[in-house]
Amino acid sequence: MEYYELHPENPQLRYINKAVEVLRKGGVIIYPTDTVYGIGCDIFNRDALERIFSIKNDGSTKLFSFVCANLKDISNYAKVSDYAYKTMKHLLPGPYTFILPAAKLVPKKLWSNRKTVGIRVPNHSVTLKLVEELGNPIISTSVTSRKGEVVIDPFDIKNIFNSQVDLMLSSGNLAGSPSSVIDLSMEEPEVIREGAGDVSLFV
């Protein structure tokens, strides 16, 4: 595993570009977000996606969310109602995963049975710069131990995943609380998981 330590607010572009190169070659990386570390790959690389399913031991039953660069980018990958747009504009970037109807551009492997997808725009410079430089979304699934516990210490993550991923971008210990998950695919919003993001707007 290649391992690079980045400044959380002003990430070194040379390290971002190394990660982008790995992603474009079908690699799998670990990167920081505004909540926990994520395991990611280019959403359009089927082989890399299968690697992540294997790493997470979820077979093909786990539905992964993915990171977009900004609100405008989201509209390329999901159908966004006026209400959803106003809601996301108010809360993003931030510690939320929004469930939205999938657009045809998204690989069906990432669709739920209801033809929805989970989308994130984390408030973290490393994540946003990474997606911006790549030019399309990356998978976002939390880094967890074999017991399913979130791992926040970069040293521990490096030891656990050293032989499983190609590169890690480290940005110190993270908060460790997962994102709040809000379903905006129906007429009424539904809080699926209360996490780091304030959900009082929806209850």
Inform me whether the pLDDT recorded for 54 exceeds 60.
Answer: yes
Q: How far apart are CA 142 and CA 149, in angstroms?
A: 9
Instruction: Show the domains of the chain with their CATH numbers.
Output: 2-202 (3.90.870.10)
113-127 pLDDT, tens per residue? Answer: 899 999 999 999 999
Q: What is the DSSP letter of 174?
A: -
Tokens found for residue 132: 């911006």
Grouping H, G, I as helix, E, B as strand and the rest as coil, residue 73 is helix
Q: What is the pLDDT of residue 128?
A: 95
* Element spanning 39, H or E: strand 37-40
pTM for the full predicted model: 0.93
CA distances, 105 to each of 27, 38, 101, 110, 111 (Å)? 21, 23, 12, 11, 11
> What's the first-to-final CA gap in the chain, in angstroms?
43
DSSP 97-125: EEEEEBPTTS-GGG--TTSEEEEE--S-H
The mean pLDDT value of the chain amounts to 92
157-197 pLDDT, tens per residue? Answer: 999 999 999 999 999 888 778 999 999 999 899 999 999 99
